[in-house]
Amino acid sequence: MKPKCELCDKEAIENSLSLFGKQFIEDLAYEIFNPNLEKKEERLDVKGIIERYMAEDYDEELYEMLLDMLREGRSDILYGEDLRNKLKLDASRKKAWQEIISKIKSGELAADSLTPTQVLEYFPEEALEGLIKEGLIDESIRRNIKYPRSALSFSNFTVEGEKIIAQRLLEEVFKNIKKSGFGIHTTEEEGFGVESTSTLRDFDDYTHSYDLIDWQETLLNTVSRDAKGMNIRNSDIKVRAPKHRSRCANVILVDISNSMYGNKFKGGIMAALALEQLFQEEYKEDTLHILAYNEDVNLVPVGNLLKLRPYGFTDIGCAIDAAVKILEKEEGEKNIFLITDSEPTASNRREYSPIENAFRAAYMAGKAEVKLNIIMLDRKPILRTICDKIATLNGQASVAYVDNPLNLKEFVIKTIITRKTLV
């Protein structure tokens, strides 16, 4: 019987992320999705700790046992000395992780001594295992635990993990909007609602609820009329007129065709996530449907945006048709936000070319009183011509060109907020 391997003991890689707190764990998850964010200052020399363990001698028998185990799984990738060096590095990292965790538990090190960037760089296996146990990464990914760096991709996030990323994206949007000087305001137009404005009105049993009564103004009216008896009459009661909130139904069409690789695809996903979170937090009376399209169109369930991958051709006509079909059942203002980077390259209708199909769908959307908002991620002259034609046929469309796809989320959120303040 082989001796127990302390380096492979489950306790040696037990999830210790909870020691760092909820904020750290969420930072870690968001950095996996967005590795380009501003990094925190590193206070702990993790590389030095690992190098210290690398300089130590390891028991040869333990080495051979671990080599045998690794050869069973990846003997086709690493051989001889390369495998030995890789194994030594892995063992040194595990020892360094155990040392850091032990010092944090004892109070020798503060929990914020280690940054999320350092955990992902030096301890990917521990990060992966910890995020699985926190419920932020799908447990099925454990089959790839031998290759934690490849497993730590944003396609493996759970519904809870995606929600955390969406919240962070929306926070980032508001910070960027604030820096650019764009203010968020609330409509002061009167109507039916639950929030009050500065406008005073006489109380009406049929149109006003009691929580809209302005008691200060009401009592002042009573005092001026009957200071001694203070008998409140209906004519004394004043209310603050409720703010108007017009209902709005929206569909965001995210192009996931082959041409959307890289930042274009990521920018589209970021915009959809941030918009979804905005509606959940601020505009619960409105509806938002997210559709992903290439030559096909599919409704994206909550928690599945990060599982999308770009492939296939671009059927804009089919995508617009699917959005209109959903919006026909909705009430209020109806909007389609069409994100793309190319001209139509596919048509689900044999009698129309891809471009003709897009023109037809845009026209029919206009007939259905659905406003089309085209967001183009390319400025080629041919695309400008196509977009202008689509806008003309729709009759109430807008066209915008976004140079940096990673700024797409700010543009979409600003557009929605502006619309909500003007209706």
d(CA 358, CA 339) in angstroms, rounded, equals 14
Task: Give the SS3 label for residue 243.
Answer: strand
The reply to whether 236 and 266 lie within a common domain is no
- Quick: pLDDT tens for 378-396: 999 999 999 999 999 999 8
Higher pLDDT, 247 or 252: 252
Domain of 273 in residue numbering reads as 248-422
Residue 59 is predicted with a pLDDT of 65
- What is the phi-psi region of residue 56: left when phi exceeds 0, alpha when psi lies from -120 to 50, beta otherwise? beta
Whether residue 330 lies inside any domain: the answer is yes
Whether residue 137 lies inside any domain: the answer is yes
- Structure tokens belonging to residue 72: 């069973």
The reply to whether 339 and 411 lie within a common domain is yes
d(CA 281, CA 271) in angstroms, rounded, equals 15
The reply to whether 304 and 395 lie within a common domain is yes
Task: Give the SS3 label for residue 78.
Answer: coil
**CB neighbour burial string for 380-399, b if at least 16 within 10 angstroms, e if fewer:** eeebeebbeebbebbeebeb
The reply to whether 16 and 146 lie within a common domain is yes
> Running DSSP on this structure, what letter comes out for residue 8?
T
The reply to whether 331 and 312 lie within a common domain is yes
7: confidence class by pLDDT, cuts 50, 70, 90: very low
**DSSP string of 122-138, one letter each residue:** H-HHHHHHHHHHTTSB-
Whether residue 170 lies inside any domain: the answer is no
213: confidence class by pLDDT, cuts 50, 70, 90: confident
d(CA 343, CA 330) in angstroms, rounded, equals 29
- Quick: pLDDT tens for 279-312: 988 888 899 999 999 999 999 998 899 999 999 9
Residue 49 has pLDDT above 80, yes or no: yes
Number of domains within the chain:
3
What amino acid is encoded at 174 in this protein?
A: F
Higher pLDDT, 50 or 235: 50
The reply to whether 336 and 236 lie within a common domain is no
Higher pLDDT, 161 or 78: 161
Whether residue 66 lies inside any domain: the answer is yes
361: confidence class by pLDDT, cuts 50, 70, 90: very high
CATH of the domain at 315: 3.40.50.410
The reply to whether 261 and 150 lie within a common domain is no
Whether residue 179 lies inside any domain: the answer is no
> Running DSSP on this structure, what letter comes out for residue 113?
G
Residue 41 has pLDDT above 90, yes or no: no
- CA 37 to centroid of chain Cα atoms: 14
The reply to whether 213 and 296 lie within a common domain is no
Residue 258 is predicted with a pLDDT of 95
Higher pLDDT, 15 or 364: 364
Hey, which bits of 203-307 come out as E strands? 238-242, 248-255, 287-293, 297-299
Tell me what the mean pLDDT of segment 320-332 comes to: 94
Residue 310 is predicted with a pLDDT of 94
The reply to whether 89 and 207 lie within a common domain is no
The reply to whether 136 and 233 lie within a common domain is no
Residue 417 is predicted with a pLDDT of 82
- Structure tokens belonging to residue 106: 């004892």
Least confident of 8-17, 114-123, 136-145, 158-167: 8-17
- Quick: pLDDT tens for 76-107: 445 556 667 777 888 889 899 999 999 999 99
Residue 276 has pLDDT above 70, yes or no: yes
Q: What is the pTM of this model?
A: 0.75
The reply to whether 147 and 258 lie within a common domain is no
Torsion sign, CA atoms 343, 404, 256, 389: negative
Tell me what the mean pLDDT of segment 132-139 comes to: 89
Residue 358 is predicted with a pLDDT of 97
Tell me what the mean pLDDT of segment 251-277 comes to: 95
Residue 363 has pLDDT above 60, yes or no: yes
The reply to whether 341 and 214 lie within a common domain is no
